[in-house]
């Protein structure tokens, strides 16, 4: 555990970059501030000493005012230096948090697009944003306080011997007992308990999220009790663990801890009573009273210091779990970028003996798949669900990289193509082509920022968006998602298609199924598709038979392998899987026609 903490700290300081030094400067200043803060206590000792020496002739204690000013000066200096210390640690902490975000983002820019499919963007955002903020308390406050408290303990050790070591030991003993009690709650076997307790807290919040997410399903299927059970079990588990930890493990140590931090003074009194007769006998009662006064006042700062340690331990834990959440983002796989990239020659595509297995899957999603797409051809991928169509299509723009074999564009392995060049050459229309909360113009122009307004308008026209724009008072400058400008699913898809058309990439990879969320605009979307496909090389995950019938080639994927390939006529004649699918389709159509006829 201690080792992990050290690792966490150096990981955090690593993120501080060139402001790392500021952290150390801040910590040094914090130690100096704490040392300066001790001086007024010494002044109190001096004042008491002088007063006792001249008692009861108080007026002759002339140096007292001087001590007062010295105490005041050091108290103010301590505050100013502490302020400076926090300034330094904050500057470093803010830089650390922003570097975590920046490095995370920079790293994600190199992750394959598929990573964002399997990791929800909200989760990634929460990881980077939330977790980086959580490291701040530790770096900005807790570390400085830990150093300050350590300084205080060292000063106490010193002062203990300077004045009266026996009373010093009494104060220190109180502090040691309360620290020991505090660590007994966290160390050893209890560390595992705390880990379990935190894990069960995590499970509870996850179950809560799932429960809320599942509410639509719950409502539709009326299954209130069952879906609630997992959530309730998670809460019960958490409450049992929390109860056990707080009630059985913490009750005694925490009572001891609080008693000795708040009551160090009470610890001091019996020691003083024991010492008093001796002091009387030796005739140094004055010195004894002076020292007692000092320790009585001094013991009051112990509880403040110990409370800070408590907070620091909390900050340490928070920062440690924050780092645990950041790590998966920083460790996300990255796309290999070729050192000396090759330029694709032309727009053909070739799958050569391609196999691909998803991370964690036992069966390959694609198993030795080979097929070619000549430049300008439209190739349809068809086959039963789960056959590997989406997977094959997503290997072309490198959503993922193949496990073995090669995917070539223009005769060059996609892994050897500069990713920017590949992105310029391949456009894809997949499940969710999201629109940004900005104007339609900017949404479309995102594909090619230097495009003129006229080019954007032409792309929108080709994507059959004229009707959408005519409805909006501000036309293509209307901001989507604000001020009542909301587009239906089909309308959003057409705007997204306009973006892809404007991109004007020679190769288009598209999933036709995404197009028909909105039946009314099906005809318009078909026209937009036609505009997008014209004159380009197209790989399409086909669901509609007109597309399949008209394709230059059909590749039938079944269970991760190419079952057959050819034109529609060839495949129907071959009498294989495709012919069966075709026959099924025709039966369905006839059935539809006959029922339509009856109505
Ligand atoms: P199709 O598009 O033909 O329906 P897919 O390419 O989506 O088929 O899926 C092929 C196989 O890969 C299926 O067995 C599916 O369960 C699996 N698969 C798809 N996506 C993932 C993923 N992100 N992680 C793990 N397995 C996946
Ligand atoms: Mg699919």
pLDDT tens digits along 231-254: 888 899 999 998 988 888 888 888
Reported as half-sphere exposure (CB side, CA atoms, 13 A), residue 445 has a value of: 16
Residue 519 or 273, more confident: 273
CB of 361 sitting under 6 A from ligand 1: yes
Q: Which atom of ligand 1 is nearest to the CA of 560?
A: 10
pLDDT for 36 equals 92
Taking CB atoms within 8 Å and a gap of at least 24, the contacts of 328-332 are: 328/127, 329/104, 329/107, 329/108, 329/124, 329/127, 329/128, 330/103, 330/104, 330/107, 332/107, 332/108, 332/111, 332/115, 332/119
Phi, psi at 334, each rounded to 5°: -115, 155
Contact 390 CB / ligand 1 (< 6 Å): yes
Q: Which residues neighbour 583 within 8 Å (Cβ) at sequence distance 6 or greater?
A: none
Ligand 2 centroid to Cα of residue 377, in Å, is: 21
Q: What's CA 451's distance to the chain center, in Å? A: 35
Q: How confident is the model at residue 595 (pLDDT cuts 50, 70, 90)?
A: low
Q: Which of 116, 356, 365, 384 to mutate to test the pocket of ligand 1 (most atoms within 8 A of CB)?
A: 365
Q: What is the pLDDT of residues 392-437, one digit of tens each?
A: 999 999 988 999 999 999 999 999 999 889 988 999 887 666 788 8
Pocket residue to mutate for ligand 1, from 118, 356, 358, 563, most atoms within 8 A of Cβ: 358
Report whether residue 394 contacts ligand 1, using a CB cutoff of 6 Å.
no
Confidence of residue 584 (pLDDT cuts 50, 70, 90): confident
Give the pLDDT confidence score for residue 431 in this predicted structure. Answer: 63
Query: Could you give the CA distance from residue 521 to residue 527 in angstroms, rounded to a whole number?
Result: 10
Residue whose Cα lies nearest atom 6 of ligand 1: it is 388
pLDDT (tens digit, 9 = 90+) per residue, 276-285?
A: 888 888 877 7
Asked if 135 and 12 touch (Cβ cutoff 8 Å), the reply is yes
Average pLDDT value for residue range 316-323: 79
CB atoms within 10 A of CB 535: 10
Q: Tokens representing 92? A: 């470093």
CA dihedral 471, 473, 479, 483 (to 10 degrees): -100
Distance 132 CA to ligand 1 centre (A): 34
Ligand 1 centroid–CA 368 distance in Å is 16
595-599 mean pLDDT: 50
**Residue 599 has what pLDDT?**
41
Distance 263 CA to ligand 2 centre (A): 69
Residue pLDDT, tens place only, 158-204: 877 788 888 888 887 888 888 888 888 877 777 788 778 878 887 88
- Write phi, then psi, for 362 (nearest 5 degrees): -95, -30
Q: Which of 333, 360, 361, 542 has most ligand 1 atoms within 8 Å of CB, for mutation?
A: 361
Structure confidence at residue 512 (pLDDT) = 75
Q: Is the pLDDT assigned to residue 41 strictly greater than 90?
A: no
404: helix, strand or coil: strand
> Is the per-residue pLDDT at 519 higher than 60?
yes
Residue nearest to atom 10 of ligand 1 (CA): 388
C-alpha–C-alpha distance, residues 570 and 24, integer Å: 75
Atom of ligand 1 lying closest to residue 392 CA: 6
Q: Cβ distance 558 to 383 under 8 Å?
A: yes
> In this structure, which residue's CA is closest to atom 17 in ligand 1?
365
Q: Does residue 28 surpass a pLDDT of 90? A: yes
The pLDDT assigned to 170 comes to: 83
Q: How far is CA 41 from the centre of its chain?
A: 46
d(CA 385, CA 263): 72
Query: Virtual CA dihedral for 255, 256, 260, 262, nearest 10 degrees?
Result: -10
From the CB of 137, is ligand 1 less than 6 Å away?
A: no
Evaluate if residue 444 carries a pLDDT over 50. yes
| C-beta 388 within 6 A of ligand 1 | yes
228 lines ligand 1 (CB under 6 A): no
Handedness of CA 228, 233, 234, 239 (dihedral sign): positive
CA of 299 to the centre of ligand 2 (A): 71
Ligand 1 midpoint to CA 252 (Å): 55
Decide whether any atom of ligand 1 lies within 6 Å of the 387 Cβ.
Answer: yes
Q: Please state the pTM of the whole predicted model.
A: 0.68
- What local confidence, expressed as pLDDT, does residue 219 receive? 67
Cα of 388 vs centre of ligand 2, distance in Å, is 7
Report which protein residue has its CA nearest ligand 1's atom 12.
365
- What is the residue-averaged pLDDT of the chain? 84
Nearest alpha-carbon partner for 89 in 24, 8, 11, 10: 24
Output the residue whose Cα is nearest ligand 1's atom 20.
Answer: 391
Q: Poorest-confidence range of 43-57, 215-229, 239-253? A: 215-229
Rg of the chain over Cα atoms, rounded to whole angstroms, equals 37
The closest-lying atom of ligand 1 relative to the alpha carbon of residue 541 is 2
Q: What are phi and psi of 554, to 5 degrees?
A: -120, 130
Residue 269, pLDDT above cutoff 80? yes
pLDDT at residue 227 above 80? no
At residue 395, the pLDDT reads: 93
């Amino acid at each position: 555990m201690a080792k992990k903490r050290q690792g966490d700290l150096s990981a955090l300081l690593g993120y501080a970059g060139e402001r790392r030094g500021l952290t150390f400067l801040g910590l040094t200043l914090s130690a100096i501030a704490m040392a300066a803060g001790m001086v007024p206590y010494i002044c109190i000792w001096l004042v008491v000493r002088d007063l006792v020496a001249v008692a009861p002739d108080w007026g002759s204690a002339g140096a007292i005012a001087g001590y007062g000013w010295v105490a005041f000066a050091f108290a103010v200096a301590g505050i100013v230096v502490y302020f400076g210390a926090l300034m330094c640690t904050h500057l470093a902490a803010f830089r650390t948090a922003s570097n975590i975000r920046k490095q995370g983002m920079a790293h994600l820019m190199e992750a394959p697009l598929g990573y964002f499919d399997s990791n929800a963007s909200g989760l990634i955002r929460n990881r980077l944003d939330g977790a980086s903020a959580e490291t701040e308390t530790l770096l900005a406050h807790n570390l400085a306080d830990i150093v300050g408290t350590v300084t205080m303990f060292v000063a106490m050790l010193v002062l203990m011997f300077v004045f009266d070591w026996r009373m010093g030991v009494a104060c220190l003993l109180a502090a040691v007992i309360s620290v020991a009690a505090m660590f007994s709650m966290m160390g050893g076997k209890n560390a595992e308990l705390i880990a379990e307790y935190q894990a069960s807290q995590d499970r509870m919040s996850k179950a809560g999220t799932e429960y809320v997410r599942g509410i639509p399903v719950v409502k539709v299927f009326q299954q209130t009790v069952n879906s609630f059970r997992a959530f309730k079990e998670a809460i019960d588990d958490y409450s049992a663990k929390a109860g056990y930890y707080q009630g059985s493990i913490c009750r005694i140590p925490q009572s001891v801890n609080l008693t000795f931090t708040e009551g160090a003074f009470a610890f001091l009194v019996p020691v003083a009573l024991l010492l008093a007769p001796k002091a009387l006998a030796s005739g140094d009662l004055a010195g004894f009273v002076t020292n007692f006064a000092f320790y009585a006042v001094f013991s009051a700062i112990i509880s403040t210091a110990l409370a800070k340690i408590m907070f620091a331990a909390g900050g340490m834990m928070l920062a440690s779990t924050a780092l645990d959440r950041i790590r998966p983002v920083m460790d996300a796989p990255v796309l290999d970028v070729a050192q000396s990239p090759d330029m694709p020659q032309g727009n053909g595509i070739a799958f050569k003996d391609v196999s691909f297995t998803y991370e964690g899957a036992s069966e390959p999603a694609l198993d030795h798949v080979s097929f070619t797409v000549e430049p300008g051809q439209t190739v349809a991928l068809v086959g039963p669900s789960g056959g590997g169509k989406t997977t094959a299509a997503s290997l072309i723009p490198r959503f993922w990289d193949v496990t073995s074999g090669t995917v070539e564009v223009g005769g060059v392995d996609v892994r050897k193509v500069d990713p920017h060049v590949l992105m310029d050459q391949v456009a894809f229309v997949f499940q969710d082509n999201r629109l940004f909360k900005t104007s339609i113009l900017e949404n479309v122009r995102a594909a090619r920022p230097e495009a003129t307004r006229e080019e954007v308008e032409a792309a929108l026209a080709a994507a059959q968006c004229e009707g959408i724009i005519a409805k909006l008072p501000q036309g293509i400058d209307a901001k989507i998602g604000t001020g009542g400008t909301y587009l239906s699913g089909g309308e959003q898809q057409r705007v997204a298609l306009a973006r892809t058309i404007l991109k004007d990439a020679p190769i288009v990879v598209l999933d036709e199924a995404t197009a028909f969320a909105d039946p009314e605009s099906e005809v318009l979307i078909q026209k937009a598709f036609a505009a997008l496909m014209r004159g380009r090389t197209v790989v399409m995950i086909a669901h509609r038979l007109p597309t399949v019938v008209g394709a230059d080639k059909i590749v039938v994927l079944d269970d991760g392998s190419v079952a057959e390939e050819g034109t529609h006529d060839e495949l129907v004649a071959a009498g294989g899987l495709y012919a069966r699918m075709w026959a099924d389709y025709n039966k369905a159509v006839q059935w539809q026609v006959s029922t339509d006829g009856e109505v």
